Chains A and B, each alone.
Chain A
Amino acid sequence: MTWFDTLRTALEAMRTHRMRSALTVLGILIGIAAVILTVGLGIGAQQQVTAQVEALGTNLLIISPGSTTSTTGLRGGFGSASTLTQADAQALASPVVAPDIAAVAPSTSSSQSLVAGSSNWTTTVAGTTPSWLSVRARTMSSGTFLSAADQASAASVVVLGATTAQELFGSTDVVGQAVTIAGTPFTVSGVLAPSGSTGSTNNDDTAVIPLSTAQQRVSSGSSRTTVQTIYVQATSQAALPSAYQEANSELLALHGITNATSADFTITNQASLVTTAASVSKTLTVLLAGVAAISLLVGGIGVMNIMLVSVTERIREIGLRKALGARPALIRRQFLIEAALLGLTGGLIGAAVGIAGAKVLPNLISNPVALSMPAIFGSITVALAIGLVFGVYPASRAAQLAPIDALRSE
Chain B
Amino acid sequence: MATYLTGPSQFHGTEPVLSLRDVTKVYRNGSLEVAALRGVSLDVQPGEYVAVMGPSGSGKSTLMHIIGCLDVPTAGSYHLAGEDVSSMSENELADVRNRSIGFVFQQFNLLASMTAASNVALPLAYAGVSRADRRARAEASLGRVGLADRVGHRPGELSGGQQQRVAVARALVTEPALILADEPTGNLDSTSTADVLDLFDELHDAGRTVVLITHEHDVADRAGRIVRLRDGLVTDDSPAHAVAAEGVRS
- The answer to whether A407 and B94 touch across the interface, beta carbons within 8 angstroms, is no
- The answer to whether B125 and A1 touch across the interface, beta carbons within 8 angstroms, is yes
Partner of B94, one of A12, A16, A316, A322: A322
> Contacts A16-B113, A407-B109 known; A324 to B70 CB distance under 8 Å?
no
> Contacts A323-B70, A324-B123, A407-B70 known; A316 to B109 CB distance under 8 Å?
yes
Residue of B nearest to A325 (CB): B98
Residue of B nearest to A330 (CB): B126
A1 neighbours in B (Cβ, 8 Å): 125-126, 128
CA distance A320 to B65 in the complex (A): 13
Partner of B105, one of A15, A322, A330, A407: A407
CA distance A31 to B157 in the complex (A): 41
Partner of B97, one of A15, A317, A323: A323
> Contacts A5-B125, A321-B122 known; A327 to B111 CB distance under 8 Å?
no
Q: Does B90 contact A (CB under 8 A)?
A: yes
Q: Does A326 contact B (CB under 8 A)?
A: yes
- The answer to whether B71 and A317 touch across the interface, beta carbons within 8 angstroms, is no
User: How many residues of A are in contact with the other chain, CB < 8 A?
Assistant: 25
- The answer to whether A317 and B94 touch across the interface, beta carbons within 8 angstroms, is no
Residue of B nearest to A331 (CB): B94
Question: Which residue of A15, A321, A328, A329 has the most chain B CB atoms within 10 A of its CB atom?
Answer: A321
- The answer to whether A327 and B125 touch across the interface, beta carbons within 8 angstroms, is no
Contact with B along A368-410 (1 / 0, CB 8 A): 0000000000000000000000000000000000111001000
Residues 326-355 of A at the B interface (beta carbon under 8 Å): 326-330
> Contacts A403-B70, A404-B65, A404-B70 known; A325 to B113 CB distance under 8 Å?
no
- The answer to whether B113 and A327 touch across the interface, beta carbons within 8 angstroms, is no
B78 to nearest A CB, angstroms?
15
A13 neighbours in B (Cβ, 8 Å): 113
Q: Does B135 contact A (CB under 8 A)?
A: no
B77 to nearest A CB, angstroms?
20
B47 neighbours in A (Cβ, 8 Å): none
A236 to nearest B CB, angstroms?
65
Q: Does B31 contact A (CB under 8 A)?
A: no
Q: Does B49 contact A (CB under 8 A)?
A: no
Question: Which residue of B70, B105, B114 has the most chain A CB atoms within 10 A of its CB atom?
Answer: B70
Question: Which residue of B107, B109, B123 has the most chain A CB atoms within 10 A of its CB atom?
Answer: B109
Residues 53-100 of A at the B interface (beta carbon under 8 Å): none
Partner of A327, one of B71, B95, B131: B95
- The answer to whether A328 and B97 touch across the interface, beta carbons within 8 angstroms, is no
- The answer to whether A324 and B103 touch across the interface, beta carbons within 8 angstroms, is yes
Q: Does B5 contact A (CB under 8 A)?
A: no
Partner of A323, one of B68, B95, B111, B128: B68
- The answer to whether B94 and A327 touch across the interface, beta carbons within 8 angstroms, is yes
Q: Does B91 contact A (CB under 8 A)?
A: yes
A317 neighbours in B (Cβ, 8 Å): 111
Residue of A nearest to B94 (CB): A327
CA distance A329 to B90 in the complex (A): 10
Measuring CB to CB, which residues of chain B are less than 8 angstroms from any residue of chain A? 65, 68, 70-71, 90-91, 94-95, 97-99, 103, 105, 107, 109, 111-114, 122-123, 125-128, 131, 170
A-B contact pairs, 16 of them (CB 8 A): A1-B128, A13-B113, A319-B109, A322-B97, A323-B97, A323-B109, A324-B123, A325-B98, A325-B123, A325-B127, A327-B91, A327-B94, A402-B71, A404-B70, A407-B105, A407-B109
